[in-house]
Structures are given as structure tokens and as C-alpha cells.
Chains A and B, each alone.
Chain A
Amino acid sequence: MKKIKWWPEFFRIVFKMNIKATINYFGWNVITENVINAGVYALEYILIWATMSKFTSMNGWNVYEVTFIYSLCLLSYALGNIFIRPFWYFDDLIVKGGLDDYLIRPVNPLAHLLTREWQFNYLGHFIIGIPVLAYVMGRIDVFWSSSKIFMLVLTIIGGAFIQAAIVVIPSCTAFWIVRSSSIASMLRGFREVINYPVSIYPKFIQILFTFILPYAMVNYYPSLTLLNKSTDAIFSIMPYITLFLGVVLLVIAYLIWNKGLKSYNSSGS
């Protein structure tokens, strides 16, 4: 019975430690960090708006709808990456033996690894992303019923899961291949593609980003549902599929992690 109470307390302790560590590391600059982040994305929004100012639409998506899509990507990116920073340099962790530190504790090593380096400076992404999202939602010709809002939330959460998996799964290849961080950062960079609706790209890119690297499931397809952009039945439940896919990908990530750990146990670094 004590086991169940252990985890919330663990989370509480780690949460406080991360806040304290963030403040100690950044000092007062913790505010500047978030402001800079917010500023960077504010500029991105201005860029979208400026790009489209002389045009009416992009493949049938007006500037508010494009901003909507962009915001979904941004928010799910921020949410998905707050807790998984160690995976950004996972190959370094293995090579320098840092992973061993997590294997000598009476705690699940993955859970322990995920307690480190929470990116509280990603709050800046939310500070700019949420107001903008709310604003464009008001400008789009859609009625935001409670079920729509619910689906929107599911989309962001599912998108966060997908974005996290896209970071974790390639990083875990570090168990077998050296220098996986370049592959991982390249895949992170592909996020650029979904900043706009994928329908503007040729078919092969659309297929690539739907079935192989499912970035489009983060924002494009759910938006077809949320913005009533399609009458096909399948597109009416996209947010649920996104969430489902996110969960599936995280499960796969977990399985790969376990396999990798086993391999590490027999071959070291």
C-alpha cells in the first residue's frame, strides 16, 4: 500500500528540485529565458502573418487556420519535450557512462532519468502559444462546442506524445549505434515541415509525414476534424486517432528502451 503513495511523493520532490535547480542555474535570467522563447515564437507568428498578408489562402487554409495549425505544433512540441531533455544527448550519456548512475538505484532507471532537467523555460512557448491560439480560434468560422474543445485538448496531448516519441525512439538507437544525436536532431528539425498544412506538399512528402514519420498526425489531420475541413467520416475522429497513435508510439519507445537496456547490460558501452 505504501507503493502507491511513493510515486506522487517522488514526483513532488523531483518537481521542487527541478524548480530550484532551474532558478539556481538561470538566476534571474529564468524570466529572460522565457521571454526570449516567447519572443522567438512571436516573431514566427508575425512571419506567418506577414507572409500571407498579400495572399488570401494557402491551399484553402486562411491565415487564421494556418496559425491554428502552427500553434498545435508548437504547444505539443513544448509539452512533449519538457521532461525528456536527457534524450537529446542520450548518446553522450552512454559513452561517458552516465547511464550507469541510473542503474545502481532501487528505482526504475527510465523513471529516474526522466526526473532530470525539466525545461521550465518552455513556459515561454505557452505564454505566447495559448493566447494566439485562443485568438485565432475566435477568428475561425467554427463553433467551439465543449466536445470540440475536448478534442482540441486531446490533440495537443496526443501530439505531445508523438513528438516525445519522435525524440526518444531515435535516441535509443544510441544503445547500438554511436553518434545517434545527429539523426535525432535532424528528425527534430523536420518539425519545420508541419508548420504549414501538409496538403501543400507533393504526395510523397505527405505519405512520408503521415505514415513513416507521423508528424502530420500532430496538427494537420486533427485540424481537418476541428476546423470542419472535411466531410469524410474518417476525418471526424482524427483527434482520437492522434491520441491513440501517441500512446502506441510511447509504448513502442518503452519497448525499445527495455531492449536497449538489456543490450547495454550485456555489452556495456
Chain B
Amino acid sequence: MGYIYYFTMRLRTVVKYKTDTIFRIIRALISFFTQIYLWKALYGSNQVVAGVTIAEMMTYVVVSRFIGSVTSIRLSRDIEDRVKSGEIATDLIRPMDIRLLFASRSIGDSLASLLLDGIPVILFCIIYLGGIMAPATIQHFALFLVSTVMAIIVNISLELLIGTMAFWYMNAGKLNMFVYSLSALFSGGVVPLWFLPSWLGSIAYALPLQAIKFIPLQIYLGRVSIAGSIESIAVQAAWALGLMLIQSLLWSKILKKIVLFGG
């Protein structure tokens, strides 16, 4: 039940700070506008570029926003902050797995985020655009939802991993800011990986970041077959497992260190 406490943590603070939510919505809208008009300007009078229609791109932006609102990047920053301030010590002495703790908070974060600023923004986007493309088929949509859940898991694993690295690089600046920029490029959140020059694209496919945004997006737009979708979801699962393994390895090393030095 301690986890439930963390889960609802975000919901409670959000209710307290209404203005923050409003500002977050405004920021999201600005971001949305920037992207929409970016693509409109790039397409110009063309309807299709590199096999992607402009209608698909508009849909891409909106669905990307949806996935973005459920994959929060606060987790790694939170851990980083708590390590720097030393508050992490209080977390570690609790009789709960600290990782599950942070994970519950992250999930709670995502849901709260989705409810409070995600959905309003998405509805606005859809209305502003006059509607978006529906998912390719019902099966695709179902797989899309599964894929989104997988994406959340991959995201949490990645965030935990980066946060764990904060234990090693105690005073190192904003490592997570760097990863954030990296993911802007390689997750497909801003630019679909189809548009990337080939060599950049191959790097992207080798990274776990595309498992967070690009794979679900592809499935939604029906750019992969059903079989291909299931395959992609398997890839996501593999990444999630792999990241968690690395994180667990690092984690046990750190715990040993802490026990040795008595915190």
C-alpha cells in the first residue's frame, strides 16, 4: 500500500498547483503548434514525401503527443536530484523496493499527466486539425494499445537505469538532459525514423529509444503488418528486459558499496 501512496502522489500535488497544470498545457500546445506547422511548411504543396502523406504526419504528431504524455521523463531527474541532495538515503531505508517505489510514482505520474493535461491537449489538437486518421484496423489498434503499455515499461526501465547512473556520476550535470535530446532525435517522437538518412536510421534501430515512441506509432498507422507488429512488441519486451537486467546489475553493485560505507 505504500506503493499506492506514491502512485497517487502526483495526483495530489497537481490538484494543489492548478497553475502548473495550466502552464504545462500551454507548453504542450506550443509544442504541438510548432510541430504541425513545421510539417505543413516542409510538405509545402506536396501531398506525399518519401511515401508518407501529410495526413499521416498530422496523425503522427497527435499520437506522438499521446504517447509522450504517458511516458514521463521525470523519473531519472527525480532520482538524480535526490542523490545530489542526499534525500535518497531516506528512500533506501524504507522496507520497500526503492525501484518499485519510483516506478509506481512514474506510472501514477503518467496517468495523472494523461488525465489532466494530456487528454485536453489531444482533444484540442484533433479538433484543430479537423480530425485525424483512424488506426489502420481494429487489430492494429489493439496491438497499438499493447505496444503503448510496453513502451511505458521500456521507458521506466530506461529512466531507472539513467537514474541509477546518477549514483556513479554524483556531481555530473544533466546526464538526463542529454538522453532527452538523444531521445528527441532517435525515439521518433519528433521525426519519424522513415525520414532519417539511412545511416542515422540504422543507429536509431539499434537503440532502445525507438521502442518508446516509434514502434507504437508505426503500429497505429498500419505501416507494419500484424505479424510485424507482434514482432515489434517482442522487440520492446526484449529491450525492457535487457535494460532492467543492466539496471539490476548496477543496482546490486551500488547496494554493496553503500553497505560497505554505511551510507
Chain A residues close to B by CB (< 8 Å): 26-27, 29, 32-33, 36-37, 39-41, 43-44, 46-47, 50-55, 57-59, 121, 179, 182-183, 185-186, 189-190, 192-193, 195-196, 200-202, 205
Contacts and interface: CB of A to CB of B under 8 A. Distances in A.
Given A43-B181, A51-B191, A189-B30, A182 B40 contact: no
A53 B41 contact: no
Given A59-B41, A193-B30, A200-B38, A40 B177 contact: yes
A43 B177 CA distance: 11
Contacts of A183: 23
A47 B191 contact: yes
18 contacts: A27-B171, A29-B173, A36-B174, A37-B173, A44-B181, A44-B184, A46-B185, A51-B38, A54-B50, A55-B42, A58-B38, A58-B41, A182-B23, A189-B27, A189-B30, A193-B33, A200-B40, A201-B37
A31 to B, nearest CB: 10
A186 B34 contact: no
A192 B173 contact: no
B195 A54 contact: yes
Q: Interface of chain B, helix or strand or loop or mixed?
A: helix
Contacts of A58: 38, 41-42
Interface string B25-60: 011001101100110111110000110000000000
A32 B172 contact: yes
A186 B26 contact: yes
Contacts of A44: 181, 184
Interface in B190-230: 190-191, 195-197, 200
B78 interface: no
B178 A39 contact: yes
Nearest to B185: A47
Contacts, number: 97
A155 B169 CA distance: 38
B181 A50 contact: no
Given A189-B27, A200-B41, A51 B195 contact: yes
A205 B33 contact: yes
Contacts of B27: 186, 189
A50 B173 contact: no
Contact of A52 (B31, B42, B181, B200): B42
> Chain B interface: which size bin?
35 or more
B20 interface: yes
A195 B34 CA distance: 9
A141 to B, nearest CB: 20
Contacts of B173: 26, 29, 32-33, 36-37, 121
Contacts of A46: 185, 200
A26 B30 contact: no
B190 A51 contact: yes
Contact of A54 (B19, B31, B49, B178): B49
A183 B24 CA distance: 11
Contacts of B4: none
Q: Taking each of A39, A40, A190, A195, which has the highest tally of chain B beta carbons within 10 Å of its own beta carbon?
A: A40
A203 to B, nearest CB: 12
B23 A186 contact: yes
B197 A53 contact: yes
A201 B29 CA distance: 13
Contacts of A201: 33, 37
Contacts of A195: 34
B182 interface: yes
A190 B31 CA distance: 9
* Most chain A CB within a 10 A radius of its CB, from B30, B41, B169, B197: B41
Contacts of B237: none
Contacts of A202: 37
Given A43-B181, A57-B42, 11 more contacts: A29-B169, A36-B175, A36-B177, A43-B182, A47-B185, A50-B197, A51-B38, A182-B23, A189-B27, A192-B34, A193-B30
B149 to A, nearest CB: 27
A213 to B, nearest CB: 11
Nearest to B41: A200
Contact of A50 (B30, B175, B191): B191
